[in-house]
Amino acid sequence: MSRIAAGEASAADFSALQEAFEREAALPGPVSAFEARRTLSDAVAAAVASGSDAMLDGISAVLEPYAADEKSEHRELARDLLGQKIRCAAAAKGDTARLDHLAQRLDEDVPESRTDGTAGDREGLHPRADLFRVAARGERVAAAGYLGAVLVSDDGGKTWSAPATGTDEPLFDVALGPGDEIWAVGRSGVVIRSRDGGKTFERRATPFRRHLFGVLAPSAGSALVAGDFGLQLRTDDGGARWTCLPRDADLIVSAVRSAGPDAVFAGEFGTIERLHGLALPGRRGVLVGVPEDVEIHDVWFREDGRVGVAVGVAGTLVRSEDGGETWTAVSGLPAGVDLYGVGGSGDVVVVAGDGGYVATSRDGAKSFVEAQAPPVPAPLLGVAFAGPERGYVVGPRGLVLRTDDGGAHFTPVHGAGARR
């Protein structure tokens, strides 16, 4: 392991690694199985970090026989490591030959889509689809959700269009880029992009089929996306080519948001991590007053990038005043209510969660009061503000709620209860 970690491995070292993995994996008990997985995962991480073709070739030679053997108890582990870390390294290097090879080795048994990708478009399902996230700037609002739905308004939510997106996969996040760019990401690595304000969308292929839960569009043609198993990808040419940003831990990233000129990742195991200048390595914040391994669902930063708010399971609400270095629990919300979305403008902050819960702060998230909103017996999932007074919350069956008074009151502008 030491020679592999140093990037100096020989064929004998890889053979020894394989023997060690086999020996540990054969021992009884969950601890031994964990140690075996860690042994191989550490070796793969070292190969990825080295960027050496010889290292990647050596690790691949160890993993591929297991990945191809349907009877091997190590098959799924081998496929995961090849499909995540080795593929990530190949994408980062622009190694199309290795990407094609991995696609042939790993994707031949991926089931075909149950539809041609346009059922939602043909059947007119988008306006009634559950919505997961929303983005807003000026008069433009875009919400994304189930069955490939993207709803777009260019008049602050008075009227809405439901353009064809070319996919039936659920879209878990949406972002407004500069000008007329709109990006959305979702299940099985789906990425779509519009360059005309949501009138039309095009698929932008990535090297992965991992679920994507967050997207940020910081500049023209650029997108930063993240999701399952720690997957982090970036494009600067409109999605023609993607660079993989390696991450050691295989955690799920739930959201990617802006913090001034930086990006912030939020996810499981208490992850709130800021990438200064959108570049690795990120700096992880310290949580105070909540469990270290709490699952974070969403994060938001004030325009200056200093004050931040993050929400998560069981009423988790934490606040930072130092740009995300430390996060301290905020009290006063109902205990046990899962919170899924947070957004705001200036000192106005709104959080949303289970059972249609919406709460508003007007003092920079130091204290909250429950907002006046129609009863919704289902989770509200996404929050976005276009200014200090106007904001949006989205939820089930195409529901979009709007506030025009800084979060004190919310009324439906799309979905059930909206005035026609």
Question: Where residue 335 sits, what CATH number does that domain have?
Answer: 2.130.10.10
How many domains does one find in the chain? 2
What per-residue confidence (pLDDT) applies to 74?
79
Walk along the chain (420 residues) and give the pLDDT tens digit of each residue: 455 555 555 666 677 777 777 776 666 776 676 777 777 777 777 777 777 888 888 888 888 888 888 888 778 888 888 887 788 788 777 787 888 888 888 864 444 445 677 888 888 889 999 999 999 999 999 999 999 999 999 999 999 999 999 999 999 999 999 999 999 999 989 999 999 999 999 999 888 888 999 999 999 999 999 998 888 999 999 998 888 887 766 789 999 999 999 999 999 999 999 999 877 778 999 999 999 999 999 999 999 999 999 999 999 999 999 999 999 999 888 878 999 999 999 999 999 999 999 999 999 999 999 999 999 999 999 999 999 999 999 999 999 999 999 999 999 999 987 875
Pairwise CA distance, residues 398 & 231, whole Å:
29
What per-residue confidence (pLDDT) applies to 352?
98
Q: What is the pTM of this model?
A: 0.84
Q: Are residues 192 and 141 in the same domain?
A: yes
Q: Is residue 15 one of the residues assigned to a domain? A: yes
**Residues spanned by the domain of 16:** 2-106
Maximum C-alpha span of the chain: 72
Q: Is residue 337 one of the residues assigned to a domain? A: yes
Strand order in the sheet with 308-312: 286-288, 326-329, 317-320, 308-312, 296-301
Task: List, in sequence order, every beta strand (DSSP E) within 223-325.
Answer: 223-227, 232-235, 243-244, 253-259, 262-267, 271-275, 283-284, 286-288, 296-301, 308-312, 317-320
Residue after which a domain boundary falls, among 73, 106, 139: 106
Q: Are residues 81 and 170 in the same domain?
A: no
Q: Are residues 182 and 204 in the same domain?
A: yes
Q: Is residue 112 one of the residues assigned to a domain? A: no
Pairwise CA distance, residues 197 & 304, whole Å:
27
Q: Are residues 41 and 137 in the same domain?
A: no
Sign for the CA dihedral angle at 37, 38, 39, 45 comes to positive
Q: Is residue 71 one of the residues assigned to a domain? A: yes
Q: Are residues 84 and 127 in the same domain?
A: no
